[in-house]
A and B are shown apart, each in its own frame.
Chain A
Amino acid sequence: MSMTQHAEPAVTSPPAPGPKEVDGRTVERPQVLRLLARPEVGVFLGAAAVYVFFLIAAPPVREGASMANILYGSSTIGIMALPVALLMIGGEFDLSAGVAVITSALTAAMLSYQLTMNVWVGVIAALVVSLAIGFLNGWLVVKTGLPSFLITLGSFLILQGVNLAVTKLVTGNVATDDISTMDGFSQAKKVFASSFDVGGVQVKITIVWWLVFAAIATWVLLRTKYGNWIFAVGGNKDSARAVGVPVAFTKISLFMLVGFGAWFIGMHQLFSFNTVQSGEGVGQELIFISAAVIGGCLLTGGAGSAIGPVFGAFMFGMVQQGIVYAGWNPDWFKAFLGVMLLGAVLINLWVQRTATRR
């Protein structure tokens, strides 16, 4: 057959004549190659390379306080990158993730300030709003069958407008009022935005949350039914439906998970800065998506991990702060990111081809 005459490297030997106890048709590839083919290993090496590079290029990075700072920056991206990555493995995007963070923070701030209630009321209301936005995104995607790119582009624009307009309407300003004197503020700040001391270094609590969420996400993805479904709905939605996977439930819940992440980061921003700027968040969604892609999640769905985006987010935080510590012009940050993203995409492509080669 002419089909098989491609000059492909002979990874497999010709078919064996008959079935034996061992199939024998798959030749084990070298351990190193197989390990490298795992996307999270690739991104780990990338993150390590970036880390070592800045250790040498920027001496201040070697201090504990700088490291805590770098990890803090990474964690605020990383906490959002996790649900965005899971959603991507499930075959969808959420372009509204960046502004949804601000929507959540605005909801909590304005609700508790305007009604002079305990901030926890606002926090809970914000959670409900965030989950509802996620649900609506997911429901529209599942019901219409339209690409999530379009649906969430719509919700991105809607939220961006609503954030500005409603904030101006309610507060007469583009930012919310300071809520730091309200009931429950210090309590909520402890949960979302406190720091603790580790050997003289102030460590932000978001780092802990980030690692906890990453551990939970990894366990869910690899060890539970739901995780299996995420891979399946992203890998082949129709096949998944045909074997009885609840596709609509899986997709909608993934969008709601992004809503949860947006709520969490929104609360962190609110309780760190006491006020929220209503115009922020635009462009953040692409940072989250990039971190997920750099972390080895396949843009078309069906492959990826939760640990990869952790390293992806770390690379972001490292580059962002590293450039500053090295005393370079921070304008270069985006250029660095672009190069990292392209590199990751190329590696992903190669991995996919290797994995599906017959």
Chain B
Amino acid sequence: MTGKEANTHGAILQDTEPEDGDRPTVQLRNAGKAYGNIRALHGVDLAVRPGQVTCVLGDNGAGKSTLIKIISGLHQHTEGEFLVDGEPVHFTTPRQALDRGIATVYQDLAVVPLMPVWRNFFLGSEMTKGPWPFRRLDIEKMKKTADEELRNMGIVLDNLDQPIGTLSGGQRQCVAIARAVYFGARVLILDEPTAALGVKQSGVVLKYVAAARERGLGVIFITHNPHHAYMVGDHFSVLRLGTMELSAERSEITLEELTNHMAGGTELAALKHELSQVRGLDVDELPDARDLTAL
């Protein structure tokens, strides 16, 4: 669906002022981050467009976390450019990123387990009424809104007053996504949303990712599971040792290729060799090492 855009992608960016519809909401150009003398990330190009899911894949330590921390305002990049709506930015707090419509759903979900669902939903952006010093929380409105928003995303909870810690992992994930969507997120960063979930719950979360895309949000989907990525992704970027190993549109890549990139071709070949020695595994069924490295 995005093949045509991909072909003209580079030209549009460099030569002409792009139309609003196609301009990336968030863009990284050759961005990087060094912690002292450790280069955690370098030379990363990434573009997030409305209504598209950009998947960032990578093994542990590939630099995925550093990448989201830059975009969400927890850390600042030390090289390259970070553009929001075509404008270079340097966020110093997550609040600034939120104000520009960039919301992050962290692995730990950024919820406070002992607080009720509705309080968590509005945490940091509470609705209030009345003049100062009598300004107070508009509890009724918040509960009603939270319930509506959750129902819109297909989550039905009996009691919004229950501590969010009592919900299941998938439910909490969905509450966090619904919260980000409600607060006018234009770009949603999902940090390994399916990592700790079972098959069924992962499916539920992927459904909400697709729902968010349908609502016109740009989604950055961080994962190390190529199968989950391929189910919803429009663009795939693979990080490896702190830099970009692959950046491809959906039309340019197959799931097998993505999986191989993700695992690292040569490493997979070595693994295949080891496995063949462990037990009588039919290694001929697995792809050849030359095929893998040639990608």
Task: Check if B112 sits within 8 Å of A302, measured CB to CB.
Answer: yes
Chain A interface extent, by class: 20 to 34
CB-CB nearest in chain B for A219: B136
Q: In the bound complex, what is the Cα–Cα distance between A20 and B154 (angstroms)?
A: 10
Task: Check if B156 sits within 8 Å of A224, measured CB to CB.
Answer: no
A303 touching B156 in the complex, CB below 8 Å, given contacts A228-B126, A228-B137, A358-B168:
no
Residues of chain A within 8 A (CB-CB) of B165 are 355-356, 358
Task: Check if B156 sits within 8 Å of A20, measured CB to CB.
Answer: yes
Task: Check if A355 sits within 8 Å of B156, measured CB to CB.
Answer: no
Residues of chain B within 8 A (CB-CB) of A298 are 114
Residues of chain A within 8 A (CB-CB) of B137 are 223-225, 227-228
Q: What distance in Å separates the Cβ of A107 from its nearest Cβ neighbour in chain B?
A: 28
Residues of chain B within 8 A (CB-CB) of A232 are 112, 115, 123-124
A228 touching B113 in the complex, CB below 8 Å, given contacts A244-B94, A244-B125, A356-B165:
no
Does B232 lie at the interface of the complex (its beta carbon under 8 Å from any beta carbon of A)? no
Q: In the bound complex, what is the Cα–Cα distance between A223 and B126 (angstroms)?
A: 11
Q: In the bound complex, what is the Cα–Cα distance between A331 and B155 (angstroms)?
A: 58
Residues of chain A within 8 A (CB-CB) of B139 are 223
A-B contact count (CB 8 A): 104
CB-CB nearest in chain A for B154: A19
Q: In the bound complex, what is the Cα–Cα distance between A24 and B122 (angstroms)?
A: 24
Task: Check if B104 sits within 8 Å of A242, measured CB to CB.
Answer: yes
Residues of chain A within 8 A (CB-CB) of B162 are 26
Q: Report B's interface with A, CB cutoff 8 A.
A: 72, 74, 93-95, 98, 104, 106, 108-115, 119, 122-126, 128, 135-137, 139, 154-159, 162-163, 165-166, 168
20 more CB-based (< 8 A) A-B contacts, given A23-B157, A236-B108: A19-B154, A20-B156, A26-B159, A224-B128, A225-B126, A227-B137, A228-B123, A228-B126, A228-B137, A232-B115, A239-B108, A239-B110, A240-B123, A240-B124, A243-B124, A244-B95, A244-B125, A355-B166, A356-B113, A358-B168
Please name 20 pairs of A and B residues whose Cβ atoms are closer than 8 Å in the assembled complex, sorted by A: A19-B155, A23-B156, A223-B139, A227-B137, A228-B137, A231-B112, A231-B115, A232-B112, A235-B112, A235-B114, A236-B110, A236-B113, A238-B108, A239-B123, A243-B98, A244-B98, A302-B115, A355-B165, A356-B166, A358-B166
